[in-house]
Structure formats: structure tokens, C-alpha cells
Amino acid sequence: MAAIRGVLLDVDGVLHVSMRPIEGAVDVLRWLEQQGYRFCFVTNTTTLARATLAERLQQVGLPISEQQLITAPVATASYIRQHFVGKRCWVLTKGDTLADFAGIPLVEMDEEADVVVISGAEELLTYEAMNHAFRQVMNGAALLGTHRNLYWRAAGGLMLDSGAYIFALEQATGQHATILGKPDRAFFEQALQSIGVPASEAVMVGDDIENDIGGAQRAGLRGVLVTTGKHQADSPLLQRIHPDAILPSIVDLPDWLNKMG
């Protein structure tokens, strides 16, 4: 196997949980930089614009710049600009994520749309909103999603995510959603391009067995699971997805990389 030169790092559940940094995470980031690894941060976080997310992470002590972040909303907006030029888009999201969709014609929920985007909306994922999305798709609108995450871990426990609602819309409409975040192959390729490292020489470090590890491995990367977030070492998902390593925490990554040579 080729030596590892590049590292893709998930953020939530790997570097922090509910904006509380994982102990030792900052030291690992400094170590990666000192050792000459090329790395960036890939996240399906959807309730914050990329610039805002970078600012929040810096405020809690994680030295992550906006340029180092590859986010699902940014990837989704890029896809819309390429494939739906001038089309009306309804983006169901919360926070300031719409800042990442600058230049795209956006409509309100009571208006007709050519494209429906289900992003991180949390409490905004109401019956009214889902019924509107359903009607728009049934009328011919394209269905896009920033990710398929079914749930994530917050300080208060596991939280239902928007992937469950995307699945429901697919079942009801008979349409297949185009997903632009992890585990989409193009998302990983975009991240690899940003650090200039081929998939064969890169590793993805994440807490989600399906979206982080499975998605990365299908894209040709190695995948390392850390158990500080969503999935633990006894997850039944490990019966069909096999990480290249399972580590208790990001702090164990340097030792693993040293062993890999």
C-alpha cells in the first residue's frame, strides 16, 4: 500500500462534540502540520455557513481556517451553479447556510421551485415543510440533499438528522435524491483535489461508519473510525463495512500513522 501523505478529517464527533473540543485534538492538528501531512476538514455540517463554522471552531480553540473546510452546503451550491443555471431553488435549512448559496435564485416556501434542497433544518423539518417539498417534487422539481445522515451525536445524546426526511420524500415521490455531501464520491474527490493528494495516498478519519468510512473506501481512500462520536467499536454496521483501523480517539492517530510508515 502507498504511504499516506494526506488526511481528511471529519469535524463533529472527531475534533469536537457540540463545540467542546476532544481532548488532545489541537495537539494532533499541530503534529500533522509539523510532520508535513497535507490535510483538510470535510464535514456534513449544514446549519452554519462555511465562514461562520470556521469562526466558531476558532473560537473554541480549533485552528481551522475557512479555506481548509469542505462543507456539504458549499458542494451542493457548486453543483446547482453547474447543473441548474438560473433555476429557482428552495433550500430548507436553518442558520446562515444560505450565505453559501450566493448568486443562486432562491425562493420562499410558498413559491414554486425547480430545485428542492433538504439541508440541516432540524426543528424546521415540519409536516408543512415536508409536504411542500413533496408537492414540489411531484410537480417536477429536482430533489437534492446535502447528506444522508440519519442521526448524529450531540452533548445531549443522539439526534435525528435530515437524511431520514430525504428517504421519506424518496419513498413518497418515487424520485431519487442527488446527494452532494459525504458519502458522495465527488465530495471526497473535491477534498483530495484541495490538498493535492491522490486517494491511494490518503486516509479519511471520521466517526460515521457509513458516510465517512464506507464513502471514503469506495472513493479509494483508507478509512479510520474514531469512537468519540456517532458510532462505537461494537456497531453492527461493522459487519459489512470494515475500517482500516478503529481508534478510541483522534489522539491515537499519530501512533497509527507512524505504524503505517
Q: What is the distance between the alpha carbons of residues 155 and 99, in angstroms, rounded to a whole number?
A: 27
Task: Look at residue 51 in the predicted model and tell me its pLDDT.
Answer: 96
Task: Look at residue 83 in the predicted model and tell me its pLDDT.
Answer: 94
Q: Evaluate whether 196 touches 181 at the Cβ level (below 8 Å).
A: no
Task: Look at residue 153 in the predicted model and tell me its pLDDT.
Answer: 77
pTM: 0.83
Task: Look at residue 148 in the predicted model and tell me its pLDDT.
Answer: 87
Which one-letter DSSP state was computed for residue 175? P
Task: Look at residue 81 in the predicted model and tell me its pLDDT.
Answer: 94
Task: Look at residue 155 in the predicted model and tell me its pLDDT.
Answer: 78
Task: Look at residue 66 in the predicted model and tell me its pLDDT.
Answer: 95
Q: Cα torsion at 65, 122, 215, 74 (round to 10°)?
A: -40
| The dihedral sign for the CA sequence 75, 175, 130, 127 | negative
Residues in the chain where the model's pLDDT stays below 50: none
Peptide bond into 21 cis (omega under 30): no
Task: Look at residue 151 in the predicted model and tell me its pLDDT.
Answer: 85
Task: Look at residue 154 in the predicted model and tell me its pLDDT.
Answer: 79
Amino acid at 199: A
Task: Look at residue 137 in the predicted model and tell me its pLDDT.
Answer: 98
